[in-house]
Amino acid sequence: MNPIHEIKHLISQKIVAALESAREEGLINYEQLPEFIVEVPREKGHGDFACNLAMLMAKEAKMAPRRIAEIIVNAMDLGEKEQIEKIEIAGPGFINIFLNNKWLYQIPFIVEKMGERFGYNEEQGRKVQVEFVSANPTGNLHMGNARGGAIGDTLANILKYAGYEVEREFYINDAGNQIEIFADSLEARYMQLTGHDVEFPHNGYAGQDLIQTVRNIIHQYGDSLIDMPKEKRRKIIVDFALEEKISYIKRTLKSFGVEYDVWFSEKELHESGAVQKVIKSLQEKGYIYEKEGAWWFKTQSSEEDKDNVVLRANGLPTYFAADIAYHQNKYQRGFDWVINVWGADHHGHVNRMKDAIEALGYKRDMLDVLLMQLVRLYRGKELVRMSKRTGTTIALDELIEELGKDAARFFFVMRSPDSQLDFDLRLAAEQSQDNPVYYVQYAHARICSIFRQAAAAGISRPPLDAINTSLLQEEEELALLRKIADFPEEIRLSAATLAPHRIARYVLDLAGLFHSFYNRHRVINVEAQLQGARLLLMQATGITLKNALSILGVSAPEYM
RNA sequence: GCGCCCGUAGCUCAGUAGGAUAGAGCAACGGUUUCCUAAACCGUGUGCCAGGGGUUCGAGUCCCUUCGGGCGCACCA
């Protein structure tokens, strides 16, 4: 249910029909219709909807745009029951369409009936997977992971509302080189903490969290691991640490409001032979060749400028090879759209990944990678290093404790993924009082308060069939209605452009319109008919706020 | 050197997949509370949309180029 989209669609159809009938009458000549849009103009004076078709086909039709617009308008079937009030031709040739408010007055009823489902678009019949965070299980979750978590989870919610079947997935990088380094680091710490003089590896993970992990290992195993064969000892240590880290990640993300459908292990991909198998099959298809002892994936597209190694001279597959097998696995599971949320430092990986899935026989556009720029952490003016190795970073669980889940999530998703984020811990802590998230939550709490007040005064919302929403004539009321009506369309557009921050903007706009209304008009103790209509308007506003906030993973409190 | 992202008000950022007169928040100043929560509202000011070319009816948005910032360019992940 997307009223704005339906109206846009209806208007488009009418315009196309008008044009075709004008052509039949010989009033205008053209071969093909250009891609035109029907949009909600920024200026109210330009109508409720506007269309740019006349300008776009001026060349083809060899006519002045305003003349074309005139022909269209004259040929348009307005329909008896239609709600078009007037049509104007304006500016260089815009067709501006003014509706009467009938359609708007249906909105609160629709919202009330749909409740939690208001905002949902038609089923798309597509299965989409969003893979995000996928942090290395070798350390704590940092601010980049936090941003990825907020963006990925919000995007998954948006896609669900946009009509897709959505699954969330976390890819556990529990294999490969970094795990070896992880093991070296843990082992060295274990030896040190059990009183042996062992040097810590230069490239090891020096974070305090690993020391704690090793203490836990000692708590369970004591120094019994020392006399074991090295391989056995390492396995016990690594398995213990991975288990601990992964459960920390799960726990922390859950407290951030993020829950996954699937936790996918890279190690299993290796152990099941899937990696070797995919390399072999690409080899057979001629996509892989040998050079200098290694095996290379041949670049297919012009967008990637070099070939990439999948199998090293030492016989071990690269991360890229595992990722190819991983993506094949995703498509084999029936996803016809896969979205990965990655940090900008991985952008070089995007095109070769697309090349690879193409080589596997899938379409390039079955994969989208949402790149987000990196987060830089400041404390005042001072840059806080985020390296896991130096271990001086602030972890996500600490941030949640300091700011709360709601404010933290809102902050991370408020900005476009394309803009880099300077997160000042000191400022965030100071500003927690006037963080924009409270502005929105306050709107919701105020609405709840209205209903509490009403109940206390013995006032309740009349039954729907006794409400006349056309009494809502004030500018602030109409603006609210329009904004509410726009919610499903806003979701559709956020999904289509992979732009989760639009929902944060939307909810701020909606809250702003509510606050303006609230300060100028009263809901309770106005004339009875109007009171009923306003109560329904408030209910619709509250539902929309709550739904939008739930997409962001932010709570909608009843009191503040 | 090559590639990707960014450059918009004093600061932080939007700008509806090319549309009409570029907007919000913060900060500054002034006002609003016998009335549903003042964590709110209303008002006042600011822009060579980094610079320069181009594409077209129309460019903050697309293309080229210069400058500035970030990130990549491994038989790491």
Query: Residues A381, A251: one domain?
Result: yes
Residue A65 CB lies within 7 Å of the nucleic strand B: yes
Question: Which of A417, A433, A449 is the last residue in one of the domains?
Answer: A433
Question: Which of A433, A453, A475 is the last residue in one of the domains?
Answer: A433
Strands A367-372 and A337-343: parallel
Residue A502's CATH number: 1.10.730.10
Q: Return the closest-CA partner of residue A407 out of A504, A536, A521.
A: A504
Cα–Cα distance, A1 to A291 (Å, whole number): 56
Query: Residues A64, A189: one domain?
Result: no
Query: Residues A147, A242: one domain?
Result: yes
Residue A222 CB lies within 7 Å of the nucleic strand B: no
Query: Residues A394, A498: one domain?
Result: no
> Is A31 inside any structural domain?
yes
List the A62 CA – B60 C1' distance (angstroms): 31
Residue A76's CATH number: 3.30.1360.70
Query: Residues A448, A525: one domain?
Result: yes
Question: Which of A433, A459, A484 is the last residue in one of the domains?
Answer: A433
Residue A109 CB lies within 7 Å of the nucleic strand B: no
Residue A449 CB lies within 7 Å of the nucleic strand B: yes
Q: What's residue A386's pLDDT? A: 55
Locate A250 and state its tokens.
Answer: 């799960």
Chain center to CA of A97: 33
* Cross-strand partners of A96: A50, A88
Inter-residue contact A154 to A410 (CB < 8 Å)? no
Q: How many domains does chain A contain in total?
A: 3
Query: Residues A470, A495: one domain?
Result: yes
Query: Residues A92, A7: one domain?
Result: yes
Query: What strands, in cross-sheet order, belong to the sheet with A49-51?
Result: A38-39, A49-51, A94-99, A84-90
Diameter over CA atoms, chain A: 96
Q: Return positions of chain B under 7 A from a protein CB.
A: 2-6, 12-21, 23-27, 32, 35-42, 56-58, 69-77
Q: What's residue A378's pLDDT? A: 78
Q: Which of residues 279-308 of A touch strand B (CB under 7 A)?
A: 291-294, 305-306
Tokens 């829950």, residue? A259
> Is A292 inside any structural domain?
no
Q: What's residue A388's pLDDT? A: 47
Query: Residues A384, A249: one domain?
Result: yes
Per-residue pLDDT 10s for chain A (560 aa) are 899 999 999 999 999 999 999 999 999 999 888 999 999 998 888 999 999 999 999 988 999 999 999 999 999 987 755 688 999 999 999 999 999 999 999 999 999 999 999 999 999 999 999 999 999 999 889 999 999 999 999 999 999 999 999 999 999 999 988 899 999 999 999 999 999 999 999 888 888 889 999 999 999 999 999 999 999 999 999 999 999 999 999 999 999 999 999 999 999 999 999 999 999 999 999 999 999 999 999 987 777 778 999 999 999 999 999 999 999 999 999 999 999 999 999 999 999 999 999 999 999 999 999 999 989 887 766 777 655 444 557 889 999 998 899 999 999 999 999 998 888 877 777 777 778 999 999 999 999 999 999 999 999 999 999 999 999 999 999 999 999 999 999 999 999 999 999 999 999 999 999 999 999 999 999 999 999 999 999 999 999 999 999 999 999 999 99
Q: How many residues does chain A have?
A: 560
Query: Residues A159, A249: one domain?
Result: yes
> Is A19 inside any structural domain?
yes
> Is A296 inside any structural domain?
no
Query: Residues A403, A420: one domain?
Result: yes
Residue A35 CB lies within 7 Å of the nucleic strand B: no
> Is A290 inside any structural domain?
no
Residue range of the domain that includes A407: 132-264+373-433
Predicted structure pTM score = 0.95
Q: What's residue A153's pLDDT? A: 98
Q: What is the dihedral of CA A476, A531, A538, A484, to 10 degrees?
A: -50
Q: Which of residues 158-197 of A touch strand B (CB under 7 A)?
A: 173, 176-178
Residue A203 CB lies within 7 Å of the nucleic strand B: no
> Is A309 inside any structural domain?
no
Residue A410's CATH number: 3.40.50.620
The long-range contacts involving A278-283, CB below 8 angstroms and separated by at least 24 positions, are: A278/A321, A278/A324, A278/A325, A278/A328, A278/A360, A279/A310, A279/A311, A279/A317, A279/A321, A279/A324, A282/A310, A282/A324, A282/A356, A282/A359, A282/A360
